[in-house]
Amino acid sequence: MTMIDLKRVINGEVEPPACDKTLGIVVISAIAGKATCSWEVDERFLNGHQVVMGGFITSAADIAMAYSMASILEKHQGFASINLQTTFLRPLHLGTTMIESTIVKQGRKTCYVEATISQNEQVIAKITSSIMIL
């Protein structure tokens, strides 16, 4: 199986990974450590309370963070999450959702990345991650 170059996905040269397609995440932009993605939330992501299950929200943020990382790394470099933490501020419902991801601190071996999930201009969740550069 061949790895997918996320920079080529950003440029529209190749199809995104299966996880992006499964969630329906669309990269709007990814440049200089900042990524913006959209997500059309539908019934597949709802839990028994008819709000989006937290694991899907965290996964969506993780995808956006990957594009932030891809936008700054060299061709020979990869990355892997060391940790991932989500704080939920309000429920997420059906509809268009925006994901903003930013590399806050870039070191030689790790980056600290923050993401915000919002819907209807309200913050739904804040996500942080430490990501190792490989």
Instruction: Give me the pLDDT at residue 103, please.
Output: 98
The answer, yes or no, to whether residue 25 has pLDDT greater than 90, is yes
Instruction: Give me the pLDDT at residue 59, please.
Output: 98
Whose CA is closest to 115, among 127, 132, 107, 131? 127
CA dist., res. 64 & res. 66, Å (int): 5
> Mind listing the pLDDT tens digit for each residue in 58-72?
999 999 999 999 999
Q: pTM of the predicted model, to two decimals?
A: 0.95
Model confidence at 119, pLDDT cuts 50, 70, 90, reads very high
Whose CA is closest to 40, among 52, 54, 55, 58? 52
